[in-house]
Structure 1
């Protein structure tokens, strides 16, 4: 049954409950308003327990953090140990307070900055299996390129005359890991185009309803699960995305995994992974939320409710 048909049915049931009579158009509009409001607040089976009203905020207004947000009491020690925060600090520390950091002719990070991020070993990735030991520029190393973009989106840095300069908020964030993490994470979740580092045809997958993946991890991420598990629920909630053109078998699921997990939450250190299958350079993973995840996010389904209270 279509949602509109279900609402019409509920309106008729309410009219019947009132004796089958509606005295005016105003009364009918009031009945429709009450029924629609109630329907929008009820958990929807396609949304894994969320209501249409809650899903509206996740899709259309994630910046408000009405449903999913960062904790107010973020632990500075925990967030300072996250991978992208460490990488961000490497870049920020290379910016001269007065002269800035000279970029390449194409506006990329200098090789020294990229090499330092790579050699620090903070990203436990498979890149070294397919890349030369020394990374030459940020195009060779996705974490460096992502941090560069996120620092700009978070307005911690600005570019002038091909130099990266610290902003006032950037100077503040260097002294406060909570401010630094909050800025770069929100830039990733709310502003960053997650299709930037891949060649999948759809730009919508992973960008639309990204916070829904956070919600799914909060519910099911207590143990390792395949990406197919999360993709099935994601595309059930957003079936229009599953109908987008694909270039090869199962690419919708793979696209979600790359954007939300591999190039997203995993680079932050907010999910852990486990290899479940290997074929040459190709690896298939299962995923679970990390310890940091549980100390970072809060669900606001009916009140500010930490994730550990939802178990």
Structure 2
């Protein structure tokens, strides 16, 4: 299912055959003369176009009050002209310092500026690099903190897997032989303004990196509509909410995301979409980028009681404006 399911085109065909019955009923209720054949084809097209443009701009209950037009932009061009979300073009260094994932990217770039990083025979980052990244404690992992997982390695730490994937997606780092090294573009990135590199990393993570890479669940939820989830954080994040609250709002907007997903790690278990949304959007995006504060009920991987609240960084990175 694509974004066209949630956005009614403003440019109308010269025939009404393709319209859903509900939309046609609305149109005929508003314009009974259309059913009586009193308009020319040109007049009919003009009326239909005006009707659809108006309809696109009306608040939709299942979109939490956003219009179809606003949702279309969130799905396809979140920071483009007309979108309800604006990002701060030059966030302060003090703000960027509170984005753990980006600071860790900077640390990796710093290591690469000293020369190539030789990978393990398996193609992973060496344990020494993984340990240095983890011991910064910018991001931590419950199983390691609790002692369930002893070895700090790329295979065992999700955020290190994501860091490596993102730098390889960018044009700045290449794998040559069995080592990572900076490209010419990467050398230039070292001298870029920090805020420019920050938004480049943000765009890589949200639009190019596949969030399912970390959990192997064959579902779109979490990454699909991530900008809509940012809007929801803006609207409700001042108060503490269970993580599942946001998942329920996303599923209400996009019902196709509600189907249970077979786990690839736990045989015979279906994963709840709300759980995947929590892993991907709440923990591995909003948490890693410092947009929220998380208070967990338990340390169980299937814990459904995580409480989240918008962090101060959120408003220093994004401005959300909705004309209701």
| Structure-2-length-normalised TM-score | 0.82
- Gap change, CA 1:295 and 1:280, over 3 Å in 2: closer
- Contact between 1:102 and 1:162, CA under 8 Å: does it hold in 2? yes
In 2, the alpha carbon distance for the partners of 1:163 and 1:246 equals 35
Q: Which residue in the other structure is 1:230 paired with?
A: 246
Change in 2 beyond 3 A, CA 1:153/1:69? farther
1:286 lines up with 2:303 in the alignment: no
**Matched residue of 2:309: which SS?**
strand
Partner residue, 1:140: 156
Do the aligned residues in 1 keep the contact of 2:88 with 2:318 (CA within 8 Å)? yes
Q: Deviations over 1:23-64 (max 9, x none)?
A: 211111111111111111111111012111121122234474
For residues 21 and 110 of structure 2, what CA distance do their matches in structure 1 show? 59
CA 242–112 in structure 1, closer or farther in 2 if over 3 Å, else same: same
Gaps of 5+ in 1: 303-309
Q: Does 2:68 correspond to 1:48?
A: no
Q: What do the CA deviations read for 1:160-185 (whole angstroms, capped 9, x no partner)? A: 22221223443344343312321221
**Paired residues, number:** 297
Cα distance in structure 2, aligned partners of 1:35 and 1:174: 52
- Correspondence for 1:299: 320
Partner of 2:210: 193
CA deviation profile, 1:174-197 (whole Å, cap 9, x unmatched): 343312321221111111111111
2:96 counterpart of 1:79: yes
Show the 5 A alignment for 1:164-243: 164-175=180-191, 176-200=193-217, 202-243=218-259
Stretch deviating more after TM superposition (244-253 or 36-45): 244-253
- Say if 1:63 and 1:190, in contact at 8 Å, map to a contact too: no
Q: Distance in 1 between matches of 2:118 and 2:183?
A: 15
SS in 2 for 1:74: coil
Deviation of the 1:131 alpha carbon: 4.1
Q: Kindly report which structure 2 residues correspond to 1:29-108, keeping only aligned pairs within 5 A, or say none.
A: 29-62=45-78, 64=80, 66-96=83-113, 99-108=115-124
> Residues 85 and 177 of structure 1 are in contact (CA less than 8 Å); yes or no, is this contact kept in structure 2?
no
Is the Cα contact below 8 Å between 1:22 and 1:28 reproduced in 2?
no
1:270/1:242 CA distance change after superposition, 3 Å: same
CA contact (8 A) 1:100 1:163 kept: yes
Q: 1:71 to 1:96 in 2, by over 3 A?
A: closer
Q: Deviations over 1:130-159 (max 9, x none)?
A: 444551x21111111111111222333122
Distance 1:226 1:18, change over 3 A: same
Query: For 1:91-146, what per-residue CA distance to the aligned partner results, in whole angstroms no more than 9, with x for missing partners?
Result: 1111145x4222222322122211101111111442321444551x2111111111
1:253 to 274, 298, 313: 274
